[in-house]
């Protein structure tokens, strides 16, 4: 409306520019990949320091949200959601990685906060966290449906000399017709959901990017488990 001041726009949506509309989804996609390429090896080496790094992430996020302007402020809000995902992942991979049933409960520890945040200034954080959590739930569900989850403890508890072969065998089991169909169907549904979320506006494009990137990361993980298990990030 003519004459309406821009300060009345909802918090987290004041960026308005086409650059910002791409920056936030790209940032969300990048943050989804960090647990694979940064957190996984870090947690293997020193889980306590990886978990404590959450405090640094959260401090940076809050400083950006409070003192940043435009897209920088929005990135700070986004990082608040990522901080929750980082801590949940650190706790699981650091101390409960051999117990796959603990994965989703630990990752979901901040679920009430994320849901509450959707109604206010933290909705970007909530949208990212919920999308990441939903992607995790979908991945775990597919692992259970294809029989991979029951092999998970064996892979993680096996000696280093044996673990790569076990992981490769687990990955090869997903190439059977029914498991492969389950994987392809699930990936397709996630991509359809991501497409629909993308059409709902700025905040939900962050969720769409997180979901779509989850599909890509899962595909890369499966390819690595088949070709070079030691590079999968699990062992």
pLDDT at site 105: 96
| Residue 99 scores a pLDDT above 50 | yes
CA 157 to the chain's CA centroid: 24
The string of pLDDT tens digits covering residues 28-62 is: 999 999 888 889 889 989 999 999 999 999 999 99
Mean pLDDT of all residues in 226-235: 80
- Long-range contacts of the stretch 163-167 (C-beta < 8 A, 24+): 163/229, 163/235, 164/229, 164/230, 164/235, 165/229, 167/225, 167/229, 167/232, 167/234, 167/235
pLDDT at site 19: 54
Domain boundaries along the sequence of the chain: 17-231
| Residue 16 scores a pLDDT above 90 | no
- What is the share, in percent, of the chain residues with pLDDT greater than 70? 91
pLDDT band (50, 70, 90) for residue 3: very low
Mean pLDDT of all residues in 154-159: 88
| Residue 169 scores a pLDDT above 60 | yes
Mean pLDDT of all residues in 106-124: 95
| Residue 193 scores a pLDDT above 60 | yes
């Amino acid at each position: 409306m003519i004459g309406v001041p821009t300060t009345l726009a909802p918090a987290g949506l004041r960026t308005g520019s086409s650059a910002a509309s791409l920056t936030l989804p790209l940032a969300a996609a990048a943050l989804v990949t960090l647990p694979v390429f940064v957190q996984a090896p870090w947690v293997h080496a020193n889980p306590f320091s990886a978990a404590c790094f959450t405090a640094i992430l959260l401090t940076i996020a809050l400083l950006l949200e409070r003192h940043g302007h435009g897209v920088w402020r929005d990135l700070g809000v986004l990082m608040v959601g990522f901080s929750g995902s980082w801590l949940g992942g650190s706790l699981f991979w650091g101390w409960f990685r051999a117990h796959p049933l603990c994965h989703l409960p630990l990752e979901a520890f901040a679920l009430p906060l994320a849901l509450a945040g959707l109604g206010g200034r933290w909705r970007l954080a909530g949208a990212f966290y919920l999308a990441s959590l939903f992607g995790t739930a979908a991945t775990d569900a597919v692992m259970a449906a294809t029989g991979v989850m029951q092999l998970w403890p064996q892979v993680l508890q096996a000696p280093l000399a044996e673990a790569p072969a076990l992981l490769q065998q687990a990955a090869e089991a997903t190439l059977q017709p029914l498991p492969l169909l389950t994987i392809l169907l699930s990936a397709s549904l996630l991509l359809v959901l991501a497409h629909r979320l993308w059409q709902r506006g700025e905040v939900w494009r962050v969720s769409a990017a997180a979901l779509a990137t989850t599909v890509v990361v899962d595909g890369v993980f499966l390819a690595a488990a088949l070709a070079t298990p030691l590079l999968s990030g699990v062992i």
